Amino acid sequence: SGSDLKNLCVTAAHLPIREILEKEKKEKALAEVEKRPLPQSCSSNDVRALRISDFKHAHEQVCASVSSDSTNMNELIQWNDLYGDGGSRKKTTLSYFM
């Protein structure tokens, strides 16, 4: 559903942020151990662009909100089989184009 796609995209978008937060946490801990000044925080320019791997990882994390066995899903599949691209509907050419 559209909501599922939104959740997938949001989860994928959070991955680069999580990477930065983990990196900052490690650098801060290392700086404290070595008794040196804390590193500067990252800015929005440090956030990398999304990659296809982010979406693949998000796909593993996000569950569908509708069960594939639900009544609504079965009706949607049936409709698609009859009328959608998954169906046997063929484009017919009109006779006046001959």
Q: Is 87 within the bounds of a domain?
A: no
Q: Is 94 within the bounds of a domain?
A: no
Q: Is 15 within the bounds of a domain?
A: yes
Q: Is 95 within the bounds of a domain?
A: no
Chain-centroid distance, C-alpha 25: 25
Q: Is 4 within the bounds of a domain?
A: yes
Question: How many structural domains does the chain have?
Answer: 1
Nearest to 25 by CA among 41, 37, 14: 41
Tens digit of each residue's pLDDT (9 = 90 or more) over 5-60 = 999 999 999 999 999 999 999 999 998 888 888 888 888 888 999 999 999 999 99
Domain of residue 26: give its range: 1-66
The four Cα atoms 8, 13, 18, 20 give a dihedral, to 10 degrees, of: 160
Contact 60, 7 (CB under 8 A): no
Q: Judge whether residue 2 has pLDDT over 60.
A: yes
pTM for the whole structure: 0.62
